[in-house]
A and B are shown apart, each in its own frame.
Chain A
C-alpha cells in the first residue's frame, strides 16, 4: 500500500489546500446571512411603505402615520435629552438583588421613578458586538466576533449604519461621550473631519488591573456636562466593574464598593435631572453591555453572561400608570439572574426612538417595551406600535421578497374580511409572518374604537414578537447545501490525507492509537458537555499513551541502566503532566475552582517569581550553550545572552505589575523604578527586536559556519548544533514573553517533557548498520505524542472552547496603534503558546537518529552527567547528520526525509477529522439549545486550530524549521 512519493506529496498538498476551502465554505453557510438595510430611517419611510396602505388607513378614518409623522413625532416626544450610562458587565443581580450596592437606584425603582428590566444579550457577549446591539438594535452574530478582532478602524465603524445616535445627529442634536474608547472606534469622525461626538474623552481598557482610573476619568466630566444644556445625548461607559469581575470574580472585595460608586453617579445624575430646569425632560438609561459568569468572565452564554440589567429612570415615570416594582427582589423561580421582565437588548432602540420622538433605526429588531407604553394615550400608542411594526416589516420584506409578501398578506386580510377566519394553522416562518401582518392589516381596516384599538394593538404585538423572533432566530437562515458542501470538502481533505500516509498497513500501535484518538475526538464533538470540558479528553489520553511508550521503550532496552532511564523518563513525563494539568482550572463545569495559578500563586508570589526566574535562567543557559554554541567569541555570546534575558525578564515584570499587580506586590522595586522611563510598548519592542536580531544573526553565522566546514562533514556533525535547535530556544523566549507570568514556569515542564519524550521515542539499536539507517523516531509516534501534548498544554495554560477564555492581555505587546496583522499574530501566539512550542519540538523529535553502539559507550562514560543532557546532545548531533544525509541522498532512498512528511500527513488527517466532526455536529445539532453557546464557539476554535495551528504553524513554520535543519 504505497503510492509513489510524488503522488503522496500531491495528495498531501491537495488535502491542505482543501482544508481552508472547507472551513470557508462551511462558515458562509453556517453563519447566517442577515439582510442589512443601508441608510438612515426617516418617518417618511414608514409612511410610504405600501401603495395600498393609505387607502386602508383612510378607510379607518385618516392616515395614522403619514408624511406628517416627523413633525408629530418630535412634538410628542416625552424626552429631549438622554443620559446613556453603560456599566460594563453590569449583571442584573448587581442592581436588583439582595446585597446590591445600588441602594439609591433600588429606591428609584420602589418609588416608580425607574423601570427595571433584565435584558437578554445574545452571544458573543463581548463589548463591541454588544455596543453594536445597543445602538443599532440588530443582533450581531459570531461573524462579528471574528470581525471584532479582524476589523480595521474604518470597516468596524457604525458611522455607515443607522443607530439611535445617528438619529439624534440627523435631528440636529449633539452627543457627548466619556468612557471605553470602543465607542470612539465605532463612531469615528466623518470623512470631512467632523467629529461624531461634540466632546469626548476615551479611556482604554488595556489593563484590567485598573479599577479606579478608568472610571474616575469618566466621572470627572459628568458634573460639568450635567450643568450644560448644549447636548441631547450623553453616553458614559464605565469599565471598572468589568475589570473587577475579570480580576476577582463577581464576589470580589472591590465589587460592592464599585457598585456603590456607580450608584452614587446615578444619584448625581438623577438629582441633576430634578434640579436643573434644562433636565426636566431628560431620560436616564442604565445598561450593562453583558453580564459575567461565576468566574467574572464573559464572551459566551454561560449563566450570568447573557443577563445584564437595563433600567430607565426619570421623574416623569412617577406619573405614568404602571405596575409597582419591588426592590431588592429575587430572580424568577428556577433562574439565577432573571429579574422583572426579560427583554431583548435590541428592544432599547425602539423604546428610545419612541420616547425621544425619532424614527426607529432601520436594522433594529427591537419591539417597543409594553411596560413603557403607559407614557402614551391610545391613538399615539397605536401609531408608535405601527411605526415599529412597519420598520420591522422592512427587514422582513428584505428577507422574503417584498411584492409577494405584500400580496399574500393582503389576501389574508381579505380572507379575514370575508369571515373566512383565515388561519388553518400557518406553517413555516414566512407564512406565519404573512398571517401576522395580514391580521394587522385587517384590524387597521376596521372601524376605530376602544375595542378595535385594543385588538389592533394585540395584533401588532403578535406580529412584532413574531418578526423579532424569526429575524433574530438564525436557524431559519442556515444554508444547508453550503454546509454539506463544506463537509464534503473536509471529507475529501481527510481522504487525501489518508492516501498520503506512506505506510497504512499493517498498522502499528502508534497508527492505531492515532486513529483511535481521531475517532474518539470526532464522536466527542457531538456531546456538548465534552465540548465544554474538552481538556479531560487530552488529560485522560496522555498518561495512557505515555505508558504505552514506556512499555515499548522498555522492550528495546538491552540493559538495566537504560531500562531505569526509561522508567525515569516516563515518571518525569507523567509527573510534569499531572502538575501542568492542575496549573489552570479550565472548562465550564468547575470554572473558578482552586488551581495552582489562582490558589497558590497570589499567596506565594515569591515562589512564582522564583520559578519564573528559574525558567528564564534555564532558557538563558540553553541560548548560551546551544543557540550560540561555536558561533561567536564567548564575551559577545555572554553579552547577547544577558541582554536577551534581561530585556525579556524586565518586560515580564513591568507588564505583570501593570496587568496583575497583586502578583508583584512591591517586588523588585528598584528594577521597576529604573525601567520606569520606558513605556511598556518600548520595552516590548526592545525585547522583540533583540530576539529578531539574534535570530537573524544566528541564521547567518550558522549557515556560514556550515558552508565553511562542508569539507569536514563528520567533524561538523559532532561539534555543531542544528540550526533548528539553535532557533528553538529563541522561539521559547518569544513564547515566554507572550505568556502570562503565572504560566511561564510551565516552560520548565515543557523542556523536561521534551527531553524525556526524546528518550522514550528513540529506539536503541545494538550496533548493526542496517538499524542505524532506520529513522530513530517513528514519525507517527512523534505525531501522536505532539498532538496529545499540544492540546494538553493549550488547555492547561487556561485555554478552553469558550470565547470568554481568550486571553487578550498579551495581544498588544509592543503595538502602539491598532495593527491587525501584529495583533493577530501576538494574540494567536499568546493563546497557542504551548501548541506552537510543541511544533518546534516535533521538528527536533523527527530529526532524531538511532543511537549506535559507539554512542552508548559515550553515554556510559558520561554516566555522572545528567542523562537528559547527554540525550539532548546526541539528539542535536543526529539531527544535523540526518538532515545533511537527507539533502545528499536521493529522496526515495532516504528513510529520514519522510519523517516530517509523515508527521504533517498525520496532523492533516487529525485536523481534517476534527473539522469534519465539528461541522457534522454543527449541522446535525443546528436546532439544539446549545448551538450558539457551545457548538459555534467550538467551530471558531476548530477554525483557529486548523488554519492557525495546523496550516500556519505546522505546515508553514514547522516545514521551514525542518528545511533549516538540512541547511546548517
Chain B
C-alpha cells in the first residue's frame, strides 16, 4: 500500500469531506442502478468459461468492464475540480458550454481515470495481491489480469471523483472519507476478494477452487454489495478505527 502523494511536510489535517452525490439526472439514476446488475451478470454469464480458461476469459471481459466503469463515471459521477482537466481556453466561460463541450469535459477525465487505473492502480494492486499471498512464481498472467480487474472495479470512480490530489488520497488510504457509493464499492471489492480466498484450501476438489476464480467472484460480488451498502445503508458513515 503506498500513497500516490507528493512529498513534503504539508499538514495532513483538513476539514472533513462530504460523501459524493450521484448526479440527479434521469439517465444517471437509471445507469447507476443498472451498473451493478450489468457487472454481476457479465460475471455470471462468463463463470463457466472463467473456470475453464481464466486467463482468456479475464482478458476478454476487461474491455467490457472498462466501458461499464467509464460509463458509470461519465453518466453518474460529478467530476472533480482538481482532476487533470482538459486544457481550457482562459476566455471560455462555463455557462456557455454546449452539450458537446460538456461531454468532452467529462470524457477526458474519465479517459484519464482509466489510464491511471491501467498504469498506476494495476501495478500497485498487483504488488498488493502478491503481498497478500497471490502466487508469485506461477500463475503470473492470472494474477496480472486479476489485478487489472481489481483496479477496474476499485479505482476509476475514485480518480474521477477525487482526482489525484495528495490530501484526497491520504484520506482514501486511511479510510477517512465518509462512506458513499464509491468508497463502498471499492472497499466491498477489497473485502470480497479477501473473503474469496477462503474456499481455496478446502478439500472439495472442485474445479472452481482454482486460482483466481473465487477471488474474481468475491471481488465482483463484494463490489456490488459494497456499492449498495455504501450508497443506501451506510451512506455518510465514518469508518472508525479506534
How many angstroms between the C-alpha atoms of A967 and B201 in the bound complex? 48
Answer whether residue A547 sits at the interface, using C-beta atoms and an 8 A cutoff.
yes
B16-24, B72-80, B129-137, B226-234: which lies at the interface:
B129-137
Residue contact A555 to B174, C-beta cutoff 8 Å: yes
Answer whether residue A45 sits at the interface, using C-beta atoms and an 8 A cutoff.
no
Residue contact B241 to A548, C-beta cutoff 8 Å: yes
B6-14, B40-48, B50-58, B140-148: which lies at the interface:
B6-14
Contact A571-B203, Cβ < 8 Å, known A539-B133, A554-B170, A581-B133:
no
How many angstroms between the C-alpha atoms of A530 and B198 in the bound complex? 10
How many angstroms between the C-alpha atoms of A558 and B14 in the bound complex? 10
Interface string of A536-563 (1 = CB under 8 A from B): 1001100110011011101101111101
Task: Select from chain A the residue with minimum beta-carbon distance to B6.
Answer: A560
Residue contact B194 to A544, C-beta cutoff 8 Å: yes
Answer whether residue B64 sits at the interface, using C-beta atoms and an 8 A cutoff.
no
Interface string of A517-542 (1 = CB under 8 A from B): 00000000001111001001001100
Question: What residues of chain A lie closer than 8 Å to B13, measured between beta carbons?
Answer: 558
How many angstroms between the C-alpha atoms of A544 and B202 in the bound complex? 21
Residue contact B130 to A578, C-beta cutoff 8 Å: yes
How many angstroms between the C-alpha atoms of A795 and B133 in the bound complex? 15
Answer whether residue A509 sits at the interface, using C-beta atoms and an 8 A cutoff.
yes
Residue contact B3 to A563, C-beta cutoff 8 Å: yes
Residue contact B201 to A529, C-beta cutoff 8 Å: yes
Nearest chain B CB to A943 CB, angstrom units:
24
Most chain B CB atoms below 10 A, which of A527, A548, A578: A578
Residue contact B202 to A559, C-beta cutoff 8 Å: no
Residue contact B9 to A559, C-beta cutoff 8 Å: yes
A-B contact pairs, 19 of them (CB 8 A): A527-B202, A528-B203, A530-B201, A536-B201, A540-B197, A543-B132, A550-B1, A552-B242, A555-B176, A558-B12, A559-B11, A560-B5, A560-B8, A560-B10, A563-B12, A567-B3, A574-B1, A578-B130, A581-B133
Answer whether residue B71 sits at the interface, using C-beta atoms and an 8 A cutoff.
no
Answer whether residue B2 sits at the interface, using C-beta atoms and an 8 A cutoff.
yes
Interface string of B159-185 (1 = CB under 8 A from A): 000000000001001111000000000
Interface string of A561-588 (1 = CB under 8 A from B): 1011001001100110110011000010
Task: Select from chain B the residue with minimum beta-carbon distance to A554.
Answer: B174
Residue contact B203 to A589, C-beta cutoff 8 Å: yes
Q: Given A560-B8, A567-B1, 18 more contacts at CB 8 Å?
A: A529-B202, A536-B201, A540-B194, A544-B132, A547-B1, A548-B241, A551-B173, A552-B174, A559-B10, A560-B5, A560-B7, A560-B10, A561-B9, A563-B3, A567-B3, A571-B2, A582-B136, A589-B201
How many angstroms between the C-alpha atoms of A551 and B173 in the bound complex? 6
Nearest chain B CB to A121 CB, angstrom units:
23
Answer whether residue B95 sits at the interface, using C-beta atoms and an 8 A cutoff.
no
Question: What residues of chain A lie closer than 8 Å to B174, measured between beta carbons?
Answer: 551-552, 554-555
How many angstroms between the C-alpha atoms of A574 and B240 in the bound complex? 23
Residue contact A560 to B133, C-beta cutoff 8 Å: no
Residue contact B1 to A578, C-beta cutoff 8 Å: no
Question: What residues of chain B lie closer than 8 Å to A530, measured between beta carbons?
Answer: 201-202
A interface, over-half SS: helix
Residue contact A509 to B2, C-beta cutoff 8 Å: no
Counting from the closest, the 4 A-B pairs by CB-CB distance are A554-B174, A529-B203, A552-B241, A574-B131
Answer whether residue A35 sits at the interface, using C-beta atoms and an 8 A cutoff.
no
How many angstroms between the C-alpha atoms of A392 and B45 in the bound complex? 64
Nearest chain B CB to A765 CB, angstrom units:
13
Task: Select from chain B the residue with minimum beta-carbon distance to A549.
Answer: B241
Interface string of B205-241 (1 = CB under 8 A from A): 0000000000000000000000000000000000011
Task: Select from chain A the residue with minimum beta-carbon distance to B194.
Answer: A544
Residue contact B131 to A551, C-beta cutoff 8 Å: no
Question: What residues of chain B lie closer than 8 Å to A536, measured between beta carbons?
Answer: 200-201
How many angstroms between the C-alpha atoms of A50 and B88 in the bound complex? 110
Q: Which of A509, A558, A563, A581 contacts B242 (CB 8 A)?
A: A509
Answer whether residue A401 sits at the interface, using C-beta atoms and an 8 A cutoff.
no
Residue contact B11 to A558, C-beta cutoff 8 Å: yes
Residue contact A509 to B133, C-beta cutoff 8 Å: no
Task: Select from chain A the residue with minimum beta-carbon distance to B204.
Answer: A529
Nearest chain B CB to A519 CB, angstrom units:
14
How many angstroms between the C-alpha atoms of A575 and B137 in the bound complex? 15
How many angstroms between the C-alpha atoms of A595 and B194 in the bound complex? 24
Answer whether residue A824 sits at the interface, using C-beta atoms and an 8 A cutoff.
no
CB neighbors of B among A4-22 (8 A): none
Q: How many residues of A contact B (CB 8 A)?
A: 38
Residue contact A559 to B132, C-beta cutoff 8 Å: no
Number of A-B contacts (CB under 8 A): 84
How many angstroms between the C-alpha atoms of A544 and B201 in the bound complex? 18
How many angstroms between the C-alpha atoms of A543 and B198 in the bound complex? 15
What's the interface size class on B, roughly? Answer: 20 to 34
Answer whether residue A61 sits at the interface, using C-beta atoms and an 8 A cutoff.
no
Task: Select from chain A the residue with minimum beta-carbon distance to B241.
Answer: A552
Question: What residues of chain A lie closer than 8 Å to B132, measured between beta carbons?
Answer: 543-544, 574
Residue contact A575 to B201, C-beta cutoff 8 Å: no
Contact A578-B10, Cβ < 8 Å, known A530-B201, A554-B170, A589-B201:
no
Residue contact A559 to B12, C-beta cutoff 8 Å: yes
Answer whether residue A508 sits at the interface, using C-beta atoms and an 8 A cutoff.
yes
How many angstroms between the C-alpha atoms of A527 and B204 in the bound complex? 11
Question: What residues of chain B lie closer than 8 Å to A560, measured between beta carbons?
Answer: 5, 7-10, 12
Contact A543-B12, Cβ < 8 Å, known A560-B7, A571-B2:
no
How many angstroms between the C-alpha atoms of A160 and B28 in the bound complex? 87
How many angstroms between the C-alpha atoms of A559 and B7 in the bound complex? 11
Q: Which of A529, A559, A575 contacts B131 (CB 8 A)?
A: A575
Q: Which of A509, A540, A563 contacts B241 (CB 8 A)?
A: A509
Most chain B CB atoms below 10 A, which of A560, A567, A575, A589: A560
Question: What residues of chain A lie closer than 8 Å to B8, measured between beta carbons?
Answer: 560
Nearest chain A CB to B177 CB, angstrom units:
11
How many angstroms between the C-alpha atoms of A574 and B198 in the bound complex? 20
Question: What residues of chain B lie closer than 8 Å to A574, measured between beta carbons?
Answer: 1, 131-132
Question: What residues of chain B lie closer than 8 Å to A589, measured between beta carbons?
Answer: 201, 203
Question: What residues of chain B lie closer than 8 Å to A539, measured between beta carbons?
Answer: 133
CB neighbors of B among A586-601 (8 A): 587, 589, 594
How many angstroms between the C-alpha atoms of A543 and B131 in the bound complex? 8
Question: What residues of chain A lie closer than 8 Å to B136, measured between beta carbons?
Answer: 578, 582
Question: What residues of chain A lie closer than 8 Å to B131, measured between beta carbons?
Answer: 543, 574-575, 577-578
Nearest chain B CB to A918 CB, angstrom units:
18
Nearest chain A CB to B121 CB, angstrom units:
16
How many angstroms between the C-alpha atoms of A530 and B203 in the bound complex? 9
How many angstroms between the C-alpha atoms of A544 and B10 in the bound complex? 28
Question: What residues of chain A lie closer than 8 Å to B1, measured between beta carbons?
Answer: 547, 550, 567, 570-571, 574
How many angstroms between the C-alpha atoms of A408 and B8 in the bound complex? 92
Task: Select from chain B the residue with minimum beta-carbon distance to A539.
Answer: B133
How many angstroms between the C-alpha atoms of A297 and B238 in the bound complex? 52
Nearest chain B CB to A358 CB, angstrom units:
46
Task: Select from chain B the residue with minimum beta-carbon distance to A599.
Answer: B137
Contact A554-B173, Cβ < 8 Å, known A567-B3, A578-B133:
yes
Nearest chain A CB to B187 CB, angstrom units:
11
Task: Select from chain A the residue with minimum beta-carbon distance to B176.
Answer: A555
Question: What residues of chain B lie closer than 8 Å to A575, measured between beta carbons?
Answer: 131
Contact A509-B240, Cβ < 8 Å, known A536-B201, A574-B131:
yes
Nearest chain B CB to A542 CB, angstrom units:
9
Nearest chain A CB to B168 CB, angstrom units:
13
Nearest chain A CB to B101 CB, angstrom units:
38
Residue contact B241 to A533, C-beta cutoff 8 Å: no
Nearest chain A CB to B180 CB, angstrom units:
18
Task: Select from chain A the residue with minimum beta-carbon distance to B13.
Answer: A558
Task: Select from chain B the residue with minimum beta-carbon distance to A548.
Answer: B241
CB neighbors of B among A881-908 (8 A): none
Nearest chain A CB to B12 CB, angstrom units:
6
How many angstroms between the C-alpha atoms of A564 and B12 in the bound complex? 12
Residue contact B9 to A555, C-beta cutoff 8 Å: no
Nearest chain B CB to A928 CB, angstrom units:
13
Nearest chain B CB to A203 CB, angstrom units:
40
Residue contact B2 to A555, C-beta cutoff 8 Å: no
Question: What residues of chain B lie closer than 8 Å to A563, measured between beta carbons?
Answer: 3, 5, 12, 170
